[in-house]
Structure 1
Amino acid sequence: MSTLNLPLSGFRIAVTSDRRSAELIEALERRGAEVTHAPLLKLAPLDDEALLVEQTRKLIELRPEAVIISTAYGLRRWFDSAEAAGLGHQLCQSMKAAKLFVRGAKAHGAVRALGFHAAGVAQDGTTAGLLPMLSHSIAGQAVAVQLHADSDHGLTQSLRDLGASRVLKVEPYRWLDTSSDQHLSSLIEGICAAHFDAITFTSAPSVHALFAAARTRNRHQALIRSLNERIAVATVGPVTAAPLQLAGVHGALVPERHRMGAMILQLVEHLSAMGTLSSPTVFGDCELRGRTLSLNDERCELTPAQTEILRCLLEAGGSVVSRDELGAVLPAVSSKHALDMTLSRLRRTLPHPDLITTVIKRGYRLNVEVARY
């Protein structure tokens, strides 16, 4: 198959995950995408992915009567991992069937964000604060504990002393922060300048890391604006999408099946429907996919500014677009002269410079088969 006919041909996609990134990148490239890999977080080398998945499977089988949530970060990471392993729905059902006891306000917020109800919350934010409310609640019952970091701080033994029939430990992963890496600065600037057509997230901690790094670089608002207006945002599930929504990023893609394969298929459908524009012209069929223009199967690569101009003209379908309207889609263009230069370079880049026609004193239009004034 020609690369022109691949579903993601012409699109540029940023992959932010570390775990399973090779699989995701290969799947996107196989469909024709140009992929930039910029992992926002990396798993600590001592963490064992298989361990957490196995612990999650045991909890699903055990169906504990009580689950203790120690940290917001740990809970989010746990559900991210479960979603990626295809266990998200089953884990949700197990949590809904159990009484949830939460250590502190932040963890309580994470519990509510996931749609769960807490049977009890330690107001002092300590493990010890959980014990009084558990003292008459867990005798003879199975209890699962989402550990804080790599230690249970004696909680496991305390639960046994209170009569728990079984205690299952769940140990979420720790991440290595890469926020100071140069590749992250390049990613943030690329997002703000819309150098990508889409970006993928497979964990909520990665989203948090991106926002934190953008704030330290004073690019947070520009990044949010670009994610809302210019870049498709694909997530593996609702837990990953939650911090995007809280930050004001609307319209993030969330597949019904919370798996990476479903995320890829949804992204393909979205870009095919929303990211591709086409029109018949006097020079043949013109198609814009991402920043790649094809005219009768002849391709050329456009800059982000050139893409915005051509997209505006394609959407007009041959109608005249004024200079002011073109300037409005290019917030970085600060003068009419700069707009003229961008248009001039665009024409030189196109297979046929006359694909864009100047309408004196009115603006510009695409040179379609039948011009509409």
Structure 2
Amino acid sequence: MTLAETPRAVAEKPLLGFTIGITAARRAEEFATLLERRGAGVVHAPAIRIVPLADDTELERVTRELVADPPSIVVATTGIGFRGWIEAADGWGLAEKLGSALSSARLLARGPKAKGAIRAADLREEWSPPSESSAEVLDRLLDEGVDGVRVAVQLHGATAEWEPIADFCEVLRCAGAQVVPVPVYRWTPACDPTPMDHLVGLVASRGVDCVSFTSAPAVVAMLTRARETGMFDALVQSLRQRVVVACVGPVTAAPFEELDIPTTTPARYRLGALARHIADELPRRDRVFSAGGHEIAVRGGGAVVDGEVRVLPPAALSLLRALAQRPGRVVSREALLAALPGGGDDTHAVETAVARLRSALGAPKVVQTVVKRGYRLAIDPSECGDV
């Protein structure tokens, strides 16, 4: 797979050679397609699954309660959640009554998707914040005053450790509101943890260049699974230092902020905007260096040599990373042996791995032998910092 050295080709395939982890449960295939069209390799590991509550007795109970005693204010937080609520009510024969109850209330939509779901139900929202932030909705309600006001809040979902809307409801209660939570759907860990365990391992070993998140519960699910499998410290260290964390918005990024893990987010909190943002951000951060007459960039799954993606076996990739951490400087055989998967005590394994690395790169002069000392990348040390 070769990238022609033209501006048009670079623009069309800006993610060529990059590997990106996707944790999304919904619209994952659509998101993967957006990234793959830009040249990326994708590893999908759903962190959570959405459990619909269309048949749940608690949602039916709350719906009947609101039909009997309509709220003054309704806060719709997600499009899928609001639509699911209306569809569930229709299944119980309550759609018309629920619509009547909601039409008598002031409807606030957190964002455009919630607004669209409200209008699809032949209702009209009173207001939606430009920031698409629950915090701005909350500030508006608190400024107006909610003491004694009956407020129905459609929940995002639920996890044991992270549910910002739960805090939203609690603040309203403290301000005197009569809050009625509407549990339209909830999050649970993915049924099969194997893909997530694989992705956690890849992130910890820098086998991916970027990992993406579209919900805070997905972030919590990955961190929780890493704790359960003893990979938490390695995961956090890699996310802090090596692997780019791309989140769809600040709410999604919040659990990472608590761990001092840097994140990057698009200006608009949309899936398409996230894909475009990743396509802009990764090449901007990419470090390309000249070695042995070739242009080299080290990626999660291999390297890009003169615009051509080279998939490297694990030992060769580990060796290249170890050399690239000290570009242009000599790395001893002992240090390179320690970097190889499995380690060992036979330095001849390093010679074998170097030979395979040169062959896999298709550029034997990139790695230079320094007699009796070790190996180095054939690069001027002043040209590049850590890769």
The percent identity for this pair of structures is 32
User: CA offset at residue 38 of structure 1?
Assistant: 1.0
- Which of 84, 95, 108 is equivalent to 2:138? 95
Contact 2:2 2:309 in 1 (8 A): no
Amino acid at match of 2:312: L
User: CA offset at residue 320 of structure 1?
Assistant: 2.5
The residue number in structure 2 matching 1:143 is: 151
The residue number in structure 1 matching 2:106 is: 62
User: CA offset at residue 273 of structure 1?
Assistant: 2.1
In terms of mean alpha carbon deviation, does 185-194 or 231-240 score higher? 185-194
Mapping 1:176-195, distance limit 5 Å: 176-178=188-190, 180-195=192-207
> CA, structure 1 residues 313+278, in 2 after alignment: closer, same or farther (shift >3 Å)?
same
- Which of 352, 372, 375 is equivalent to 1:364? 375
Mapping 1:226-305, distance limit 5 Å: 226-246=238-258, 248-279=259-290, 281-282=292-293, 284-303=294-313
Structure 1 residue runs of 5 or longer lacking an equivalent are: 65-77, 101-118, 120-133, 151-158
Secondary structure, in 3 states, of the residue corresponding to 1:255? coil
Q: Give me the TM-score of the superposition, normalised by structure 2.
A: 0.63
Contact 1:233 1:253 in 2 (8 A): yes
1:29 paired to 2:41: no
- Which of 228, 231, 249 is equivalent to 1:216? 228
- Which of 36, 52, 57 is equivalent to 2:81? 52
User: CA offset at residue 40 of structure 1?
Assistant: 1.0
1:16 paired to 2:26: no
RMSD over aligned Cα atoms: 4.4
Contact 1:13 1:36 in 2 (8 A): yes
> CA, structure 1 residues 177+357, in 2 after alignment: closer, same or farther (shift >3 Å)?
same
Amino acid at match of 2:330: V
Contact 2:153 2:180 in 1 (8 A): yes
User: CA offset at residue 194 of structure 1?
Assistant: 2.2
1:199 paired to 2:208: no
Amino acid at match of 2:50: L
CA distance in 1 between counterparts of 2:24 and 2:157 reads 21
CA distance in 2 between counterparts of 1:308 and 1:47 reads 49
Contact 2:2 2:307 in 1 (8 A): no
The residue number in structure 1 matching 2:162 is: none
CA distance in 1 between counterparts of 2:180 and 2:270 reads 26
CA distance in 2 between counterparts of 1:147 and 1:265 reads 29
> CA, structure 1 residues 358+29, in 2 after alignment: closer, same or farther (shift >3 Å)?
same
- For 1:123-174, what per-residue CA distance to the aligned partner results, in whole angstroms no more than 9, with x for missing partners? xxxxxxxxxxx8xx22xx4623356989xxxxxxxx9xxx98x987644521
Contact 2:81 2:154 in 1 (8 A): no
Contact 1:193 1:304 in 2 (8 A): no
CA distance in 1 between counterparts of 2:382 and 2:285 reads 24
> CA, structure 1 residues 148+2, in 2 after alignment: closer, same or farther (shift >3 Å)?
closer
Q: Give me the TM-score of the superposition, normalised by structure 1.
A: 0.65
Secondary structure, in 3 states, of the residue corresponding to 1:254? coil
The residue number in structure 2 matching 1:344 is: 355
CA distance in 2 between counterparts of 1:90 and 1:346 reads 49
CA distance in 2 between counterparts of 1:95 and 1:236 reads 21
